[in-house]
Amino acid sequence: MANANPAFTNAEYQERIAKTRAAMDKAGVDLILVTDPSNMAWLTGYDGWSFYVHQGVLLGPDGDPIWWGRGIDGNGARRTVFMSDDHIRGYEDSYVQNPSKHPMEDLSNLIREMGWDGKTLGVEMDNYYFSASCYTSLLKCGANKDIADITGMVNWQRAVKSATEIDYMRKAARIVEAMHATIREKAEPGLKKNDLVAEIYSTAIKGVDGIWGDYPAIVPMAPSGLDATAPHLTWDDQPMKAGEATFFEITGVYRRYHCPQSRTLFLGKPPQKYLDAEKAVADGTAAVFEVAKPGNLCEDIANAFNAALAKHGFLKDNRCGYAIGLSYPPDWGERTMSFRAGDKTVLKPGMTFHFMPALWLDDGGIETTEPILITETGFERLADTPAKLVIKD
At 2 the pLDDT is 66
Q: What is the mean pLDDT of residues 12-24?
A: 98
Residue where a domain terminates, one of 157, 181, 209: 157
Total domains in the fold of the chain: 2
106/145 same-domain check:
yes
At 3 the pLDDT is 76
How far apart are the two ends of the chain, measured CA to CA in Å?
55
150/270 same-domain check:
no
At 361 the pLDDT is 85
Q: What are phi and psi of 49, to 5 degrees?
A: -85, 70
d(C-alpha 45, C-alpha 8), whole Å: 8
pTM for the predicted model, two decimal places? 0.96
186/246 same-domain check:
yes
- Which of 79-93, 293-307, 357-371 bottoms out in mean pLDDT, i.e. has the lowest? 357-371
Q: Which of 295, 353, 293 is nearest to 166 (CA)?
A: 353
Residue 141's pLDDT band, with cuts at 50, 70 and 90, is very high
91/227 same-domain check:
no
Q: Which domain holds residue 312?
A: 163-392
Could you tell me if residue 224 is inside a domain?
A: yes
Q: What is the pLDDT of residues 347-369, one digit of tens each?
A: 999 999 999 998 888 888 899 99
145/232 same-domain check:
no
Could you tell me if residue 202 is inside a domain?
A: yes
Cβ atoms of residues 261 and 285 within 8 Å: no
Cβ atoms of residues 348 and 294 within 8 Å: yes
Could you tell me if residue 4 is inside a domain?
A: no
Residue 1's pLDDT band, with cuts at 50, 70 and 90, is low
d(C-alpha 188, C-alpha 239), whole Å: 9
Q: What is the pLDDT of residues 98-110, one digit of tens each?
A: 999 999 999 999 9
Residue where a domain terminates, one of 157, 179, 194: 157
3-state helix, strand, coil in the chain (%, to 5): 35, 20, 40
Sign of CA dihedral 304, 308, 309, 310: positive
95/152 same-domain check:
yes
281/151 same-domain check:
no
Q: Which of 60, 53, 146 is nearest to 104 (CA)?
A: 53
Is the N-terminal amide bond of 270 cis, ω within 30° of 0?
A: no
Cβ atoms of residues 269 and 392 within 8 Å: no
217/337 same-domain check:
yes
152/195 same-domain check:
no
Q: Which of 288, 329, 328 is nearest to 305 (CA)?
A: 288
Q: Which of 131, 169, 95 is nearest to 324 (CA)?
A: 169
Helices (H), 147-266: 153-157, 163-186, 193-206
At 171 the pLDDT is 98
Residue where a domain terminates, one of 157, 186, 218: 157
Percent of the chain exceeding pLDDT 90 equals 95
Could you tell me if residue 186 is inside a domain?
A: yes
CATH no. for residue 125?
3.40.350.10
d(C-alpha 360, C-alpha 363), whole Å: 8
Cβ atoms of residues 212 and 184 within 8 Å: no
